[in-house]
Structure 1
Amino acid sequence: MDLNPAVMIPLVILVGVGIFYFNYMAVKKRREMFAGFAAQHGWSFVPSNNSLARQWSGTPFQTGDNRRAANVLSGAFNGHQMVAFDYSYQTHSTDSKGNRTTTTHKFGVVVLQLPGALPHLEVTHEGIFGGAVANAFGFRDIQFESDQFNRKFRVKADDERFGHAVVTPRMMELLLARGEIGWRIEGNSLVGWDKGAHNPAEVMNRLSLLQGVVEQVPPYVWTDYAGIDPRQQAPIQQAPIQQAPVPQQQPPGNPQQ
């Protein structure tokens, strides 16, 4: 049965308007939710700050296009400067008929500012085949004394000795208990991320996890690699901040033996 264009055209327009309105209301509701969440904790909130999409490297950044950071929270969390935001980017593909498809990839990102810059270290979950198969294909990661940890997590570091110094038995115990997100030490930032949009409860849980990671770093690591003793630093007051943590270069010089 042929459909009358006089009927179809208004119908298509109506559907398009409905989709636009639904998306608009969803974005508005999410923005209001995070604005209220920020106010409850004395944090600052901005609807978007796309400069954050260029501030860090590695997953999930520096891939795709139309990179955006939205619903940005910043402030102090238990003595650490923090920033949390919705991150998204787009990729494109074309099928055999020339039809182009755009996919939007979404992540929840949380970042704690470290008391000093440390070497690069990344902890992520192993793939579905585990580390043994990945290593067979040349994707090497650092191995630890816990087989359970090695099966569940992949650890990469520019300095393997630094990796072993940070990922102690107590750190492994923490991550095995609640290591639900990937995280990376990048300069003076501890960056955590996971696929999909996060909610306020997840933001708090993930910030708490990153705080636990920081607390498990042995004091000598800060002294040897960053030249500081965080135990002697004054705690950050619970007050909003305007700027996100900015990664710093690792100070020159070899760590002590």
Structure 2
Amino acid sequence: MLPVALPGWLDAVVGLLTGFGLFIGFAALVGWLIARIGGPWVDRGKAKLAREQAGAERYGWHPGTDADGQLHAAGCRIFAPDGHLRRILVGEYQGRPIRMAEFVHTTRGRYLPTTWVNHLIAIELPVRLPDLAVGPDLVIGPGPVVGDGAAVEPGMERVEVESEAFNQRFRAAGVDARYVSAVLHPRMMEWLLDRPPVNFWVSGNLLVAYAAKPWTVPQTLTVLPVLSGVADLIPPFVLADYGRQVR
């Protein structure tokens, strides 16, 4: 059989199609490997999360609403201004009303948007207090922040307290240094240093713990005793001098 000489343009087209076919085949192989290897890992992660989110009713936490919008407002301030709440639960802890939810927001990446699932766990205080942010992951700088940290807002400033051990482990920010120091008195700082580290924000009459991961029962059981202890240790004069009645 005589060899057939292809025109230059046709030879280029055949080469292009061959390269494209090899690329598609390679991409399909990579996708198959990811599905075979990553699929079970993702399924196990989803199953674990489902187990950790089950059983809230055993603790008296039931589906509810954020009637006054304060939990949503706290999430918008901590994570992103355009997020929304889902999986809202309400109940009581040691006689105080509590509410919790996942806070979901989306950021626009370079190629595709990314959805972030965070959670909020809040204990209600008897009065509204000025803003106060405390936590190991608090970011002193402009927001928004993706991750566990929350950027303080304009008008809030970093406050160094008298305990160097506390300053090394936590950051604190508020609208008034005297108010921050009054809340973070020695017994309060000792309590926080002896407990699992929690990021929290005083927002209105809510004492809100937050983290950049989905809500779970074990996380809530860890956080609530810390929040309750903080609420117990807020001095009465702080509630009287700085507090405003809840409407």
TM-score > 0.5 by shorter chain? yes
Q: CA deviation at 1:171?
A: 0.9
1:116 — aligned with what? 127
Residues 204/127 of structure 1: CA separation in 2 closer, same or farther (3 Å cut)? closer
Q: Equivalent residues in 2 for 1:23-172 (5 A)?
A: 30=49, 34=53, 36-45=54-63, 54-56=72-74, 57-62=76-81, 65=82, 67-94=83-110, 100-125=111-136, 140-172=157-189
Q: CA deviation at 1:210?
A: 0.5
2:144 — aligned with what? none
Higher Cα Rg, which structure? 2
Residues 144/227 of structure 1: CA separation in 2 closer, same or farther (3 Å cut)? same
Conserved? CA contact 2:99–2:122, under 8 Å:
yes
Q: CA deviation at 1:29?
A: 7.9
1:200 — aligned with what? 217
1:214 — aligned with what? 231
The one-letter amino acid paired with 2:89 is L
CA RMSD, Structure 1 to Structure 2 (Å) = 4.0
In structure 1, the residue corresponding to 2:162 is in which secondary structure? coil
Q: CA deviation at 1:159?
A: 1.8
In structure 2, the residue corresponding to 1:178 is in which secondary structure? coil
- Cα distance between partner residues in 1 of 2:99 and 2:46: 20
In structure 1, the residue corresponding to 2:78 is in which secondary structure? coil
1:226 — aligned with what? 243
Conserved? CA contact 2:96–2:124, under 8 Å:
yes
For this pair of structures, how many residues does the alignment match?
Answer: 206
Q: CA deviation at 1:200?
A: 0.9
Deviations 1:145-194 (A, max 9, x none): 11111122111111211111100111111222225221111111111101
| TM-score normalized with structure 2 length | 0.67
- Cα distance between partner residues in 2 of 1:227 and 1:190: 15
Conserved? CA contact 1:38–1:45, under 8 Å:
no
Structure 1: state its 5+ residue gaps.
Answer: 95-99, 129-138, 229-247, 250-257
- Cα distance between partner residues in 2 of 1:48 and 1:81: 12
The one-letter amino acid paired with 1:175 is L
Q: CA deviation at 1:33?
A: 5.6
- Cα distance between partner residues in 1 of 2:209 and 2:231: 12
Residues 142/43 of structure 1: CA separation in 2 closer, same or farther (3 Å cut)? same
In structure 1, the residue corresponding to 2:210 is in which secondary structure? strand
In structure 2, the residue corresponding to 1:55 is in which secondary structure? helix
Q: CA deviation at 1:27?
A: 6.7
1:233 — aligned with what? none
| TM-score normalized with structure 1 length | 0.65
Structure 2: state its 5+ residue gaps.
Answer: 1-18, 140-155
The one-letter amino acid paired with 2:220 is V
The one-letter amino acid paired with 1:156 is A
Residues 47/143 of structure 1: CA separation in 2 closer, same or farther (3 Å cut)? closer
Higher relative contact order (CA 8 A, sep 6+): 1
Deviates more, 1:170-179 or 1:200-209: 170-179
Conserved? CA contact 2:159–2:180, under 8 Å:
yes
User: Once the two structures are aligned, what percentage of the paired residues are identical?
Assistant: 25
- Cα distance between partner residues in 2 of 1:47 and 1:166: 29
